[in-house]
Amino acid sequence: MESKEEAAAESGKAEVGPEMCTLKLIFIDLCLRILLFSASLTAMVVMVTSNQTKLVQTALYSFPVPVPAKFNYSPAYIYFVAALSFSTLYSIISGIASSWVIVKPCSSKQLLKFYVILVAHDVLMLGMVAAATGTAGGVAYIGLKGNSHVNWNKICNVYGKFCRHVGASVAVSLFASFLLLLLVFLSVYSVYRLAHKVVT
Q: What is this structure's pTM? A: 0.82
**pLDDT for 185 beyond 60:** yes
The pLDDT value given to residue 104: 77
16 vs 36, residue with greater confidence: 36
Instruction: Report phi then psi at 193, rounded to 5.
Output: -65, -45
At residue 60 the predicted structure's pLDDT band, cuts being 50, 70 and 90, is low
- Could you tell me the residue range of the domain that residue 128 belongs to? 2-199
Interaxial angle between packed helices 75-103 and 160-199, expressed in degrees from 0 to 180 and rounded to the nearest 10? 40
* Per-residue pLDDT reduced to its tens digit, 68-107: 889 999 999 999 999 999 999 999 999 998 888 878 777 7
Contact in structure between 35 and 48 (CB atoms under 8 Å): no
Distance, CA of 106 to CA of 181 (rounded, Å): 26
At residue 6 the predicted structure's pLDDT band, cuts being 50, 70 and 90, is very low
The pLDDT value given to residue 24: 85
Distance, CA of 59 to CA of 102 (rounded, Å): 63
Q: Which amino acid is at 60?
A: L
- Work out how many domains the chain is built from and give that number: 1
